[in-house]
Structure 1
């Protein structure tokens, strides 16, 4: 119980969560901790980190190539939102530099 509340507090203090979703967050954290305790935790999917060459090739005058689906977009904002990603999560997932 203490670990669940500590994780939830830390997450909420660094991320915006609507009040209506806090209960779901706590249940998800508790469920995840229980599955780890029972040894049935599933591994997170592994995403390949982009190489410097792939990063250079993904930036073109016509648009940006998404590492999520390989398609070209003028901007990635709407595309990333449709996949539930923020810019920081996208950069972290594919090992992209901040710029």
Structure 2
């Protein structure tokens, strides 16, 4: 049976390293880097600089998870927010 973890080589701060992640995390990482107009290597370098964990793969997983959790929370807040009150004159013909 094929492992769901995919190992890829990536350049982090000018140094080649390999990172093992599930395909869903690679897909999320590519999507986030695209939205930020940066390469995956640039985003992983940023994650590497800011990580608290000793393992880069874990730091990447937590970053991707946090990104999508924040996105889901923001979407939920938007859906629950009441519509802004309309002006009394709006909707009436002049």
What TM-score range do you get, normalising by the shorter chain?
under 0.3
Output the TM-score relative to the length of structure 2. Answer: 0.27
Output the TM-score relative to the length of structure 1. Answer: 0.27
Which protein shows a greater Rg? 2
